A and B are shown apart, each in its own frame.
Chain A
Amino acid sequence: MHLKKNIATSESGFIFNPATGDSFSANPLAAEMLLLLKQGLSVSEIKKNILEKYDVELSQLEKDWDDFAAQLKEANLLDH
């Protein structure tokens, strides 16, 4: 799963797609996941990272990751 190359993200959770002009706000966890994605980490590495840092069960994270991926796809932010 890769973000489109031209998508701009900030640590505070602001996302901008210069191709469409759309902007989004992300909550802290979404912002963190996006930064990790931009750094080139794989999905499993990102999940491991989050599990170590946050108080969450794997099953919950799996569910929420899938939903997050659906949100990114819906927002047209992913490279197909």
Chain B
Amino acid sequence: MQKLKYERPVIQKMNAGLMNKFGTRTEYEPVKQIDGVSVKSLIEKYGSPLFVLSERTIRRTYQDTVRAFKTRYPKVQFAWSYKTNYINAVCNVFHQEGSWAEVVSGFEYNKAIGNGVPGKKIIFNGPEKTNEELITAINNDSLIHIDHFDELYQIIELCDSLTKKPRVAIRVNMDTGVYPIWDRFGFNYENGSAYNALTKIVASGKMILVGFHCHIGTYMLSSDAYAIAVRKLSDLAWKCKSELNTTIQYLDLGGGFPSANTLKGSYLPASDTNPHIDEFAESITQAILQAGFKTDELPLLILETGRALIDDAGFLLGSVLANKRLSDGRRATIMDFGVNILFTSFWYEHKISPAQDFTHHTEDMVLYGPLCMNIDVVRDSVNLPLLNRGDHVVVHRVGAYNMTQWMQFIQMRPNVVMIDEKGNTHLIREAESLKYIEQLEKMPEHLSSFNI
């Protein structure tokens, strides 16, 4: 006689009329494949945990986002935000789609050059730029976004020894009705320091002022704030033209559009609350079109969107290491991936789907990572079907920031694969090894041996 399928026994208390702090069940279907490639086969071939990127999703998301802006405004240029995900294969998908590079350090700048991005299509942001990095950027005709007065004077000094005039913009911070104001980067609009910087740039005669940059925040849930930012930048552009006789060529609105990940503490899922990319496009483009620029003087609109373009394309596959019960009776499930590689679990209630069939029975549980550290909590409370040791799960929307902010801490960082549009898998970053980790270490001679 064939034996019946086994599912471990569970009972669940029924609460009538009370809110369940674990939220409602969200997973009704297992996620067994990504772009037609089975999760099981991916883990068998590349190990667990494993980051998977969908090239098809990256391209589709990019094209949809670009379309949202280009159908509303004639001059639009996207620049891929390297810090969001600078694995070269990922960057090159964006570059193939026509994206420039937006970098915030010399390291990222060199990565972009190494990927083959022409220097004049690299935007160099950030508060730290060494003399050497600035000279390279100036010689490459890159767009240098000045962050503070010290940097402004640093460039003026460098110009004395260079024949080439740097193309520069200033980063402007401002009150857009979203608090706290992101005023640590750039020059403030309201107190006049932005205009002061502009007058110094123009008066120096050593730089070409080409644009304005702002980045009003991250994971912005209001499209109106961008319209306010555009109006303030446009006002600066008008003053620049009328008082400094300099026409601004572009407005760089930075990034900050949210993805569909749900922020911790949110009452509703992000899919119910976050504005669609069309709303941001409408607010931004309408504000520029209404700012009074002549048709032939409309500035180029640059966007440095990162998170919203890549989050959906990233998946983290993992496996259950163990189940246990905590002192208060709660179920705890230990996964083979933790906060060391899923940095965004500090911010998001990541959607997690089992990768194999399950019944309708569920459990409220805490999801822990494998680190021997108390902070290693992937989900504080989540309602999932019954998981057993060895079962696989898929964590959704992990494409942004995890593959740059991940840490080699206790465990090493795993393989990253990309599934191309034909369903072929490519290893785009190898899992780390002990040899790789230790290659930069040096052992002083007197510490090279011991007897225990």
Contacts and interface: CB of A to CB of B under 8 A. Distances in A.
Interface in B291-335: 323, 325, 329
A56 B6 CA distance: 6
B9 interface: yes
Given A71-B329, A74-B329, A24 B12 contact: yes
A38 B5 CA distance: 23
A60 B386 CA distance: 14
Interface string B3-30: 1111111111110000000000000000
A27 interface: yes
A23 interface: yes
Contact of B9 (A23, A33, A74): A33
Contacts of B361: 27
Contact of A29 (B7, B12, B13, B325): B7
Contact of B14 (A25, A55, A64, A67): A25
Given A54-B4, A67-B323, A30 B14 contact: no
B9 A68 contact: yes
A64 B11 contact: no
Which of A15, A26, A27, A30 lies at the interface centre, i.e. has the most chain B CB atoms within 10 A of its CB?
A27
Nearest to B362: A27
B12 A25 contact: yes
B359 interface: yes
B27 to A, nearest CB: 16
Which of B8, B386, B388 lies at the interface centre, i.e. has the most chain A CB atoms within 10 A of its CB?
B8
A5 interface: no
A30 B9 contact: yes
Contact of A30 (B3, B4, B5, B10): B10
Chain A facing B: main interface SS: helix
Chain B facing A: main interface SS: loop
A15 B10 CA distance: 12
Contacts of B359: 27
A80 interface: no
Contacts of B14: 23-25
Contacts of B325: 67, 70-71
Contacts of A1: none
Nearest to B16: A23
Contacts of A25: 11-12, 14
Given A67-B323, A67-B325, A70-B329, A26 B11 contact: yes
A72 to B, nearest CB: 7
A5 to B, nearest CB: 18
Nearest to A68: B9
B8 A67 contact: yes
Nearest to B328: A74
A27 B13 contact: no
Nearest to A72: B11
Contact of B13 (A22, A53, A64, A68): A22
A26 B13 CA distance: 9
Nearest to B322: A63
A68 B9 CA distance: 6
Contact of A53 (B4, B11, B12): B4
A25 B9 CA distance: 11
B356 to A, nearest CB: 15
B58 to A, nearest CB: 40
Interface string A67-79: 1101110110000
A47 B12 CA distance: 21
Interface of A: 15, 22-30, 33, 53-56, 60, 64-65, 67-68, 70-72, 74-75
Interface of B: 3-14, 323, 325, 329, 359, 361, 386, 388
Q: Which 3 A-B pairs have the closest CB atoms?
A: A30-B9, A74-B329, A56-B6
15 contacts: A15-B11, A24-B13, A25-B14, A27-B361, A55-B6, A56-B6, A60-B388, A65-B9, A67-B323, A67-B325, A71-B10, A71-B11, A72-B11, A74-B329, A75-B13
Given A22-B13, A71-B10, 11 more contacts: A15-B11, A24-B11, A24-B12, A24-B13, A25-B12, A26-B10, A33-B9, A60-B388, A70-B329, A71-B11, A75-B11
